[in-house]
Each structure stands twice: as structure tokens, then as C-alpha cells.
Amino acid sequence: MTLKKRIASGEVTVGAWCTIAHPQVVEAMASIPGIDWVVFDLEHTEVNVNDLAALFMACEKHRVAPLVRLSSHDPIQGRIALDLGAVGLLIPVVESAERFADLARHFVYPPKGRRGACLARINGWGERFSEYQTEFEPILIPQIETPAGVAQAKAIASLPEVDALFIGPYDLSASLGSAGDFTMPAFREAERSVQESGRAAGKSLGMHVVTPRPEGVQARIDEGYRFIALGTDIICLRDSLQQAALIGK
């Protein structure tokens, strides 16, 4: 079953978050049993489109789905990521259902959309052109990160192009006045509103578990989240070292 179908079915999927543009780092994450996908972050990291093909190969070796978080609402960047092998895109700071629907059309082939056809890595430089052209549908996940996005979450979730809603906890808490405070009433209320919007539309909910501890992951699952991002590569590295460094101190 494809990742898109697993998300649609409400299955829990777990992924890693790539901020270090090196294939060995990606392979180290993708080779871990239980990792279903890796997001390559073009918004806040050194990773760029020139790195993606090599990084995707490290995922594909272990049958892990590569996803890309765009740096902005850039249709060309999204098209390039898909042509290189991404199976889906996370789009930051989505605040309008109408604008998201218009952006999504750039990632779907005619007659449904206006993605440009090409001979590229994703279709074997033409060998699987017809198969990919007719069968591929990208995973599209808008990120809800502002009060305006929360207010529009119901309309956004109702779009057929949307596979899941993903809450960006740091940006959402910052936009509510206290960055990193996920317990403040305003954040909890916004979170509940997005959850209700996703459930009403039958869409999966996503969240970042910043410090990837088992109890934190289980808590998110218990809250109804089904698309779980585990920290980042560098956060996981630092967390492991910090725990070990404190032994005996």
C-alpha cells in the first residue's frame, strides 16, 4: 500500500526530518525499522533542490518515502521536487483554502491540474512516462501555523487535494505570543480547533514530536495524530549525546 493510501486510511505513520544534506545521514535514518518517510526541509535548513536526488536515493534504498517541505508557496520548487522523486509535499504557513487549491493544481497533471510533463528521474527519463503520468498523485499536506490558518482549517481540510493537516507547533505557538509554549490555553484551543477540522473532513492529523521520546510519540497517537514527525536529525543527535553526557555528573 502506498503512503498516500496509508495516510487516507488513518494508519499511524512515523517519519524522520532531514536538515543535514548528506546521504549517509539520510540512510542512517531511513534504515531504522518503523520509519515510513523522511521529510527534507527546504524552509529552515541547508538542504536545497540540488541535494534532493542523492538524498532521495538513500530513502528509496530502504523503501522509505521521500517528502519535501517547501521553502514557500513556490510552484516551481514543488514541481522540481516531484520530478526528482518526491512522493509528496508539505507546504508551510497555509492560511487560505482558495490559495492552497490554486497552488495544488501546479502539482497535478492535466486535465485536473497544470503540472508540466517532462522526461525526468521520476519516470525513468521517459521509460515509465505513461504509467507515472496517469497513476501518480502527490501527497499534499498544508501546515497550519498561524491563527489565520486555524480559522481556515475547516475549509482547507475539506479540499480533496489535502491528505492531512500538519500543525507546526513552534510557529503556531510563536504566532500566539509565546514561542515553544505548547501548554498555554491559546495554543491548546487552536490545536483542538485544527483537530476538529481534520476529523470532520476525515483527514489525518500531523504533528512534530520535537524531542522524540516514546512517551511523547504515544501521547500524540492517543490524541489522534496519525502523521508523526520525530524531531530532526540534529535534535536527535544532540538529545542522545546530552542524555549520555549527564551520566556520572
Active site (catalytic) residues: 44
Rounded-to-integer distance, Cα 146 and Cα 151, Å = 9
**Of 191, 152, 148, 151, nearest to 168 (Cα)?**
191
Helix (H, G, I), strand (E, B) or coil at 226: coil
DSSP codes of every residue in 158-194: TSTT--EEEE-HHHHHHHTT-TT-SSSHHHHHHHHHH
Q: What are phi and psi of 230, to 5 degrees?
A: -100, 100
Rounded-to-integer distance, Cα 194 and Cα 116, Å = 33
